[in-house]
Amino acid sequence: MYICLDLGGTHLRGAWLDEQGRHGPVLVLPRKKTLEGTKEVLSELIIKLKKSCPGQVKKIGLATAGPFDRQKKVYLSPTNMPELSGFKVGSFIQEQFALDLILENDAQAAALGEVWQGGLKGENQAIVLTLGTGVGSGVIFDGRIWRAAHDTGPELGHIYLGEGPIERCGCGQFGCAETWLNKKALLDLFARHDLVLNDPKEIWPYIRNEHTGAIKALQEYGHRLGLFLSQLMIIFNIKAIGISGGISSLGTYFLAGTWSMLKQRLQKRPWLLPEKIVVSPDSQMSALWGMARLIALAMRAD
């Protein structure tokens, strides 16, 4: 049995899982934006999960935003969680619970989770994008996370998609895919259609009423995603695309726009089109599945 956690800017999520992907309920706790608050919430959730877990816990997996040193299990200077800079999370877990920690980038964990138990189950090669507060990415080659140099994997969200949103990206540049496709970009699109919302989830009543502005905004969001994916297809030509993260649940309403833009951009290169774009069946599980898979692979290698 493993305890798998997903630590984001505002919340910590977790569940127990086994090597077949069976899991308990997902528990979510708010995270205080301090180092002490983060340590407290980590301890609290691990204790709860250990109690409810039906077997002995062998390892803990933590999916989280970086950058961090994966081998040393130390946060470097996380863009959205500066309070965790230098936090030796691996030693902390070892001291508190006498358990080994495996650390992984949240989007890369989500990518592995989607090909293991999610919408792309059984795929050997895939690109998975996590659409939420940020835009994360993971590339799977031969059923494993592709890491490249620095152990980090590709940061596809920082591919330049052209001038547009005036917000500067977290990486310091303008025009990154992330600033076209993150939660804020989607909320700005809704606002342009007179729908001033605090969270993309608030769009559901408007969708149910077939609100023209809501439908148009999501179509435009889909076009943007299609433009981004057309770039990725030219680089990777990987046939299976997964979408996870908070925004992915709106996929039914934006993926038509994504396909139409992809077909337009790759009109003369139809062999570069993906075969499928699949929304995660349970986006809050993606990274947790991925962590369980990583632990199982690591334990097999031990």
198: nearest Cα among 213, 187, 182: 187
Q: How far is the CB of 161 from Zn ion (least distance, A)?
A: 10
Q: Which is nearer to Zn ion, 13 or 158 (CB)?
A: 158
Q: With beta carbons less than 8 A apart as the criterion, state whether 64 and 38 touch.
A: no
Query: Widest CA span of the chain, in angstroms?
Result: 58
Report the nearest approach of Zn ion to the CB of residue 31 (Å): 24
Q: Which range in 23-31, 72-80, 175-183, 259-267 contacts Zn ion by CB under 5 A?
A: 175-183
Q: Which stretch binds Zn ion (CB under 5 A): 33-41, 61-69, 152-160, 238-246?
A: 152-160
Q: Which is nearer to Zn ion, 31 or 158 (CB)?
A: 158
176 or 217: CB nearest Zn ion:
176
CA angle in degrees (0–180, nearest 5) for 69-70-74? 45
Which string of DSSP letters, residue by residue, matches 72-135? TTEE---TT-GGGTT--HHHHHHHHHS-EEEEEEHHHHHHHHHHHTSTTTT-SSEEEEEESSSE
Q: How far is the CB of 174 from Zn ion (least distance, A)?
A: 8
Q: Count of residues binding Zn ion (CB under 5 A)?
A: 5
Binding span for Zn ion by CB under 5 A among 24-32, 124-132, 150-158, 225-233 = 150-158
Q: How many angstroms separate the CA atoms of 253 and 264, rounded?
A: 19
Q: What totals of helices (H) and strands (E) does the chain contain, helices first?
A: 9, 12
Site residues for Zn ion, 31-70, by CB under 5 A, read none
Member of 13, 31, 158, 223 binding Zn ion (CB under 5 A): 158
Query: Helices 183-192 and 212-236, interaxial angle, to 10°?
Result: 140
Assigned token pair, 270: 């139809």
Give the C-alpha separation, 195 to 238, whole Å.
36
Q: Which of 171, 191, 234, 235 binds Zn ion (CB under 5 A)?
A: 171
State in angstroms the smallest separation of the CB of 158 from Zn ion. 4
Question: DSSP secondary-structure letter at 152?
Answer: T
Q: Which of 12, 41, 169, 217 binds Zn ion (CB under 5 A)?
A: 169
164 forms part of the interface with Zn ion (CB under 5 A) = no
Q: Is 288 in the site for Zn ion (CB under 5 A)?
A: no
Residue 185 contacts Zn ion per CB under 5 A: no
Using CB under 5 A as the binding rule, whether residue 176 contacts Zn ion is answered as: yes
**Closest separation between CB of residue 137 and Zn ion, Å?**
12
**What whole-number distance in Å separates Cα of residue 68 and Cα of residue 87?**
9
Q: What is the C-alpha end-to-end distance of the chain, expressed in Å? A: 16
Residues at the contact surface with Zn ion, assessed by CB under 5 A: 158, 169, 171, 173, 176
